[in-house]
Amino acid sequence: MKLLRVNMSLLSVASEPVPPVYKHLGGRGLIAKLLLEEIPPTCEPLGPHNKLIFAPGLLGGAGVTTAGRLSVGAKSPLTKGVKEANAGGTAGDTLPRLGIKAIVVENQPESDNFYLLRVKQDSAELFEANELRGLGIYATSQQLQEKFGSDCTIIMIGQAGEQLLTGAGIANTGEGSQRANFAARGGLGAVMGSKGLKAIVIDKAPAGSFSYADGEFFRRASKHFAQEILEDPKLGPKGGTHTYGTSAITGAVNEMGSLPTRNFSAGSFEGSTTLRGEQLREKILARGGEIGKRCMPGCVIACRNNYVDETGEPIVATVQYETIALVGSNLGLDDLDDVARLNYMCNDFGLDTIETGAALGLAIEAGFAQYGDFDSIAALLKQVGEGTALGKVIGSGAVVTGRVLGIQRVPAALGQAMPGYDPRSLKGNGVTYATSPQGADHTAGNAFGARNQVNPLGIEGQKELSLKLQLISVMLDNTGLCLFARPPVISDPQLMVDMLNGIHGWGWTPEDLDQSTREALKTELEFNRRAGITAADYRIPEYMRREPLAPHNAVFDVPDSELDSIFDTL
């Protein structure tokens, strides 16, 4: 395995053997370690000292179901701390098959040119690519696949990343015509833009190009793992996640009073019925769209959909829960067609739908559009692509939008917008938002699934729950596994260890895996500490401690002392 070092100042690419310090690390954990070892933690996120890292997980490329996610990371221009965001698509499986453990993009070009990184089986090279400037995600990927072959993976930014907007994400393509699998969070698209890198084109790996330490042993564990997922009542062929996609939970989040509604001013939405997974499925199937698609090769959960309009024409793939919450109920919109159209626009500009949905909610509060009025909202969002001043404000995310437009009720922690769970009535998520080195993030330790074990409205047990979930998230993000793979990972930790040993031959025990997970989280916390981030930066916004949230009239009341002590046992 090798690291590709891409120097955007010299416009050169070097390949090096993986330094020993990074050997046992992958995905999120590798990113954290690389950032801690190699960049000044106080550096400016969009300056030359930051590094942008693409790192598949430790199970990537081996053919483990749901384990092909690509981690992308850097010091975040949004949180000012360590950042990892991951996405489905084909990159996370392809890179390890090409023998690439990570691509590390360093420095910045002298000029304002944009470049393309072309990665082939045995070489990698940078090319000037100004002709792609100003193109959205869909046109960029289409042009590049037409040129380099439809089986290439394209990793890219849209207009938002080009403009260095801190709400920008990074997309990568998937099987078939999939164009928009997003490593959405933390403003990583702006970091890619600041490197002058518009896109990466990666050749498909030749068949049989992955080598196992013990292929037989691996396949046994891997098959068992897939079986456990298939048999899981939620994940398997009849499970909600497969049947309805991530939107399966819309109804439940609404019922627990945690659904972001009109800029997080209520926790349940009178129009939520038409945003539920059942409606989504029905509508899509009746119109000739598709349900139960996969975002990664070999995934047996297949929560993806192809959302189409009344005439059967595609609007966007895929409409997911967080988007439904943030650009649906959070903007007072109850029509999935509207959500799908805003989703498409966000995707095309290369914007995180969570950050952007939260920013749009704030712009509505400031009077620039109206809740429930698709046209006024779409007109606002359109400005991001056009590069108007207001578009740039919204594209910069929730905190900047609140500050510029004079709105104090900003649903964010550590500079990053909250996802689709109001922390006042799902307090475990509040603890995660206010303590995770990743900031407010639904994949960093999501307590929704544990709502029957720990009372989401109570204080007791939230700290312990959040820590447990944060560690599981790190483990998943280190290996490239999807968050939905949580059940078998929890119930049978030996399986993970067996799969890792089958691939890498490390002879790990479950304790080694646990140790490595804890180390990764500690590395992230240490990076943020050195970056100058303190408890003050992590806090839940004041209004959420003051303003009760309907329907439970809950405030966020987990004491700061609980938040500050969460990692004492790490």
CA nearest neighbour of 467 among 390, 389, 554, 564:
564
413 binds its own copies (CB under 8 A): no
49 binds its own copies (CB under 8 A): yes
Rounded alpha-carbon distances, angstroms, from residue 532 to 53, 78, 520 = 22, 14, 19
Between residues 207 and 389, which has the closer beta carbon with respect to its own copies? 389
Give CA–CA dist 346/184, Å, rounded: 10
Give CA–CA dist 345/311, Å, rounded: 19
Q: Are strands 82-87 and 416-417 parallel, antiparallel or unpaired?
A: unpaired
**Which of 534, 561, 568, 569 touches its own copies (CB under 8 A)?**
534
Query: Site map for its own copies, 440-459, x if CB under 8 A?
Result: --------------------
**Which of 79, 107, 153, 163 touches its own copies (CB under 8 A)?**
163
Q: What is the DSSP string of 389-447?
A: HHHHHHHT-HHHHHHHHT-----EETTEE--SS-TTTSHHHHHHHHH-TT-S-TTSS--
Between residues 213 and 555, which has the closer beta carbon with respect to its own copies? 555
Q: Which stretch binds its own copies (CB under 8 A): 164-172, 284-292, 341-349, 491-499?
A: 164-172
Cα 344 versus chain centre, distance = 17
8 binds its own copies (CB under 8 A): no
Is the peptide bond preceding residue 551 cis, with omega within 30 degrees of 0? yes
- Please report the sign of the dihedral spanned by the C-alpha atoms of residue 132, residue 135, residue 138, residue 139: negative
- φ, ψ for residue 562 (rounded to 5)? -70, -40
Q: Which stretch binds its own copies (CB under 8 A): 16-24, 94-102, 305-313, 403-411?
A: 403-411
Measure CA of the first residue to CA of the last residue in the chain; give whole Å. 31
Query: Site map for its own copies, 69-108, x if CB under 8 A?
Result: --------x-------------------------------
Rounded alpha-carbon distances, angstroms, from residue 315 to 302, 372, 439, 516 = 19, 20, 31, 42
414 binds its own copies (CB under 8 A): no
> 331 to 390, contacts with its own copies by CB under 8 A?
368, 388-390
- Please state the closest distance from residue 76 (CB atom) to its own copies, in A: 13
Tokens describing residue 392:
């740039």
191 binds its own copies (CB under 8 A): no
- Please state the closest distance from residue 370 (CB atom) to its own copies, in A: 17
Assess contact for 350 and 137: CB atoms under 8 A.
yes
Q: Which stretch binds its own copies (CB under 8 A): 25-33, 62-70, 248-256, 539-547?
A: 539-547
Q: Which stretch binds its own copies (CB under 8 A): 256-264, 454-462, 476-484, 530-538?
A: 530-538
Spell out the residues 6+ positions from residue 436 whose beta carbon is closer than 8 angstroms to its own: 414, 444, 445, 470
- Please state the closest distance from residue 45 (CB atom) to its own copies, in A: 10
Tokens describing residue 333:
């919109």
Q: Which stretch binds its own copies (CB under 8 A): 7-15, 150-158, 494-502, 540-548?
A: 540-548
Q: Which stretch binds its own copies (CB under 8 A): 12-20, 42-50, 322-330, 518-526?
A: 42-50
Compute and round to an integer the Cα radius of gyration of the chain: 22
**Which of 294, 424, 486, 539 touches its own copies (CB under 8 A)?**
539
Give CA–CA dist 541/510, Å, rounded: 38
Assess contact for 90 and 172: CB atoms under 8 A.
yes
537 binds its own copies (CB under 8 A): yes
Strand order of the sheet with strand 51-56?
12-17, 2-7, 100-106, 51-56, 70-75, 82-87
Q: Which stretch binds its own copies (CB under 8 A): 41-49, 114-122, 348-356, 433-441?
A: 41-49
- Please state the closest distance from residue 107 (CB atom) to its own copies, in A: 12
Helices 462-479 & 27-38 angle (0-180, nearest 10):
90
**Which of 172, 261, 396, 438 touches its own copies (CB under 8 A)?**
396
**Which of 31, 98, 164, 342 touches its own copies (CB under 8 A)?**
164
433 binds its own copies (CB under 8 A): no
Rounded alpha-carbon distances, angstroms, from residue 310 to 243, 247, 515 = 21, 20, 52
Give CA–CA dist 319/315, Å, rounded: 10
- Please state the closest distance from residue 373 (CB atom) to its own copies, in A: 18
Q: Hey, is 401 helix, strand or coil?
A: helix
Tokens describing residue 483:
């968050």
Q: Are strands 2-7 and 100-106 parallel, antiparallel or unpaired?
A: parallel
**Which of 124, 339, 405, 485 touches its own copies (CB under 8 A)?**
405
> 137 to 156, contacts with its own copies by CB under 8 A?
none
Tokens describing residue 255:
């019922």
408 binds its own copies (CB under 8 A): yes
Q: Which stretch binds its own copies (CB under 8 A): 47-55, 255-263, 271-279, 447-455?
A: 47-55
Between residues 148 and 543, which has the closer beta carbon with respect to its own copies? 543
Count of residues of this chain found to bind its own copies when the rule CB under 8 A is applied = 38
42 binds its own copies (CB under 8 A): yes
- Please state the closest distance from residue 486 (CB atom) to its own copies, in A: 33
Assess contact for 87 and 69: CB atoms under 8 A.
yes
112 binds its own copies (CB under 8 A): no
Give contact residues for its own copies (rule: CB under 8 A): 41-44, 46-49, 77, 163-166, 194, 368, 388-390, 392-393, 396, 400, 403-406, 408, 531-537, 539, 541-543
